[in-house]
Amino acid sequence: MQYIKIFATGGTFDKEFNEIDGKLYFKETKLYDLLKLGRSQLNVKIETLMMIDSLKMTDVDRDYIVSKCKQEETKRIIITHGTDTMVKTAKLIARTLSDKIIILTGAMIPINFGSSDGLFNLGSALSFVQILKPGVYITMNGRYFQYDNVHKNKKMGDFEKINK
């Protein structure tokens, strides 16, 4: 099977606690640690495109993500992304790309905190990307959603279908 590409963009997934100023910040992606923890035997290549809060993601940032997805040789791509604007980025990608399997995922709790959902979501995204048909998807909460039939329920903190 072709290799799986993971593009890291930041989001809660990769946030850390800065013990000097007591604030959350980004250092580097935790994806390598998670793949090791999961004893992954998949052929995965990781590339960090940016390390930002998705509420601060600009159009320029999104265009860059789209270009990188287009340019990548494999057809299996995962993007780790902040959950707040994950759907927005997914829609933009879907306008341009239709022949690849592109999955956006993230976490509600940072990897570095005891109770993170990141490892679960990564296991899920890596599985879906192997067998879903080409398209743009979001995988969170153990589920997969078509990019145009999902929204984040900001009160509950989970994702749900628009047309149930």
Q: At 6, list the tokens.
A: 């993971």
- Smaller CB separation from a second copy, 8 or 150: 150
Tell which residue, 138, 141, 161, has the closest CA to residue 150.
161
Single out the segment in contact with a second copy by CB under 8 A; choices: 59-67, 73-81, 89-97, 135-143.
135-143
Where is 143: in which H helix or E strand? strand 143-146
Give the total of residues touching a second copy (CB under 8 A).
52
Candidate list 47, 67, 98, 142; residue touching a second copy; CB under 8 A: 142
> First and final CA of the chain: distance in angstroms?
34
Asked if 137 is part of the footprint of a second copy (rule: CB under 8 A), the reply reads no
Single out the segment in contact with a second copy by CB under 8 A; choices: 58-66, 67-75, 85-93, 115-123.
115-123
Phi and psi for 44 in degrees, rounded to 5? -120, 135
Binders of a second copy among 83-112, rule CB under 8 A? Answer: 84, 108-110, 112
Sign of CA dihedral 53, 58, 61, 66: positive
Instruction: Provide the minimum distance between the beta carbon of 140 and a second copy in the complex, in angstroms, as a whole number.
Output: 8
The packing angle between helices 59-71 and 86-96, to 10°, is 50
Candidate list 72, 119, 135, 146; residue touching a second copy; CB under 8 A: 119
Q: At 150, list the tokens.
A: 């999902």
Q: Residue 82 and residue 62: Cα distance in Å, rounded? A: 12
Binders of a second copy among 64-83, rule CB under 8 A? Answer: none
- Smaller CB separation from a second copy, 66 or 80: 80
Candidate list 12, 29, 85, 89; residue touching a second copy; CB under 8 A: 12
Q: Residue 88 and residue 70: Cα distance in Å, rounded? A: 17
> Residue numbers of the site for a second copy (CB under 8 A)?
12, 15, 17, 19-20, 22-24, 34-35, 37-42, 53, 84, 108-110, 112-117, 119-128, 130-132, 139-144, 154-155, 157-160
